[in-house]
Amino acid sequence: MKGTRQCVDTWSEQVPAKTFIQSQYFPTRGLYRVILNYIILSLYYFCDANIIMQIIKQQTTLILIINIQNDTDSSYAPTSYISFSHRLIQHYNCQVLLRSIIGIQVVKLKRIKSQIQAQIITQQTKQHVELDFGALVDQRLSQKDIQKETSLKSKQLEEQLRAEVKQQFLVIQQMQAENENLKESVLVKDRLILNLQKQLQKQKEENEAELKEMREMVLEMQQEIAALGEQME
């Protein structure tokens, strides 16, 4: 396997430094799936998950490309990946990933808003051109009708944008709820491990006490055998 530094250099050569995260279905698969993808990619390309977390934490422009379009089955993910993700969630508290995900949604919404504004400007420009060439007379539309139509389209686009923004916020809320569930699962797992460690420690102490008692009994028996030997002589 390539070293960590070499893996990072190889990935940087394949992906430009300013490449931003792209995913058509992001994040409909849930926060847990996203974290698994981060971990799997980090294991394949970076050999150390801490490196990818540091890249995101420092808010650099190199962010991994995630594609979960066909990711409908988790059977490919070994138990070690899931266990590793639990430790990663516990260490970073998922806040870094959540900030990155929310930032991506904001960028997408801004892009949608820019597209809508561009469509409005294009429509207005087209109407002015039609006015210049007399197309308005041919179509028997008055200036008032054009303004009414433009206002209606603008309102429809605005309502569409609001609906998309509301949907994005619902997705973010769902992801935050999943994050809380994952953290609770990690805490339960940690409590089980702690209880097991306590039981093992208690068993170890009991075994040591029994071993000490057995050694004392053996020593007493050896002394008695030696005394009997002296009496027989």
The confidence band for 143, taking pLDDT boundaries of 50, 70 and 90, is low
Residue 47: per-residue pLDDT: 39
Amino acid letter at 133? F
Residue 35: per-residue pLDDT: 54
Residue 158: per-residue pLDDT: 79
Strongest mean pLDDT among 58-72, 80-94, 95-109: 95-109
Q: What angle do CA 226, 231, 233 make, to 5 degrees?
A: 95
Q: Averaged over 89-103, what is the pLDDT?
A: 48
Amino acid letter at 73? D
Residue 60, H or E segment: none
Of 98 and 66, the one with more pLDDT: 98
pLDDT at 145 over 60: yes
Residue 179: per-residue pLDDT: 76
Q: 0.75 cut: is pTM over it?
A: no
pLDDT in tens, 213-225: 888 888 888 887 8
Residue 128: per-residue pLDDT: 63
Residue 110: per-residue pLDDT: 66
pLDDT in tens, 187-207: 888 888 888 888 888 888 888
Q: How far is CA 175 from CA 56, 88, 94, 106, 128, in A?
A: 18, 17, 10, 15, 46
Cα–Cα dist 151/168, whole Å: 26
Contact 43, 49 (CB under 8 A): yes
pLDDT at 167 over 50: yes
Residue 210: per-residue pLDDT: 85
Count CB atoms within 10 A of the CB of residue 29: 18
Least confident of 58-62, 109-113, 167-171, 216-220: 58-62
Cα–Cα dist 103/99, whole Å: 6
pLDDT at 211 over 70: yes
Of 113 and 181, the one with more pLDDT: 181
Q: What percent of the chain is predicted at pLDDT more than 70?
A: 42
Mean pLDDT of the chain: 61
Of 40 and 132, the one with more pLDDT: 132
pLDDT in tens, 38-63: 554 544 444 344 544 454 444 333 33
Of 40 and 20, the one with more pLDDT: 40
Beta-carbon-side half-sphere exposure of residue 9 (alpha carbons within 13 Å):
5
